[in-house]
Structure 1
Amino acid sequence: MTRDNELRLLPWSGTDGKPCFLSTDDANGHLSRLADNTEAIQLSLAAELLDHTSGVLGNTEAAPEELRALAHDLAESLRDTLRVAESRGHRLPLPRLEAHGNETEGTTLPAAAFG
């Protein structure tokens, strides 16, 4: 069972800062592809920022202004990454529930699936 009837949280905000959503049955439509590409760019930029962060934090002579700018960029990147995770999480298929007697159990994963 999927969540086809739910709105997709888009990876950008409206002009008023509120979240934007997409209602479509076409995962390959123009806006869906634009959202997919934007999410990929945001995640790539987050990875680059993380690499940059290691360098800045390793520099014992980094100026306070540089550290504040880095913290600002990290917060913005984390906000984007969380939005991508939330959007993708809402689009995952729902686990199939199977009845066992009077109980219902969800899908189980081996412990190794969690690292």
Structure 2
Amino acid sequence: MTQDREPLFEEDLRLLPWTSETGKPCYLAPGAEDVMVSAPADGIENRHLAEAARVLQECEAILADPAAGALALRLALTASSRAQRGTLRIARGRGLRLGVCDGE
């Protein structure tokens, strides 16, 4: 992005790993990336990714257990869905910043 124009497009902004109170995406404009917002966002992204790795291990263990019941499978799927949502949000945000994501 050139420095002489306002960030008007989603590709010009950093998608933050949280939403507003109404569930809308939150963004950080270039140049505004200071420790007050970007460092906590980085930390939250890292925690989301670590949680996704932990959930994956747990789901693999449950799936490998032939005695796993419906409740265990349901809980694993719920945790997996939540982890996937966070991971995809991070991937989308990073893709937008790299210019390789179409915003969809």
For 2:25, which of 13, 19, 22 is the aligned residue? 19
Identity level (%)? 34
Q: What are the superposed Cα offsets for residues 51-110 of structure 1, whole Å, 9 maximum, x if unpaired?
A: 11111101111121111111111111111001000111111268xxxxxxxxxxxxxxxx
Aligned to 1:54: 60
Shift of 1:36: 0.7
TM-score by length of 2: 0.78
Amino acid of the structure 1 residue aligned with 2:64: G
Which structure carries more helix by proportion?
A: 2
Amino acid of the structure 2 residue aligned with 1:76: R
1:74 and 2:80 correspond: yes
Aligned to 2:51: 45
Aligned to 1:85: 91
Amino acid of the structure 2 residue aligned with 1:74: S
Shift of 1:8: 1.2
Which structure carries more strand by proportion?
A: 1
Q: What are the superposed Cα offsets for residues 9-61 of structure 1, whole Å, 9 maximum, x if unpaired?
A: 11112222221112241434211111111001100110111111111101111
- The gaps in structure 2 that reach 5 residues or longer are none
Distance in 2 separating the partners of 1:19 and 1:80: 13
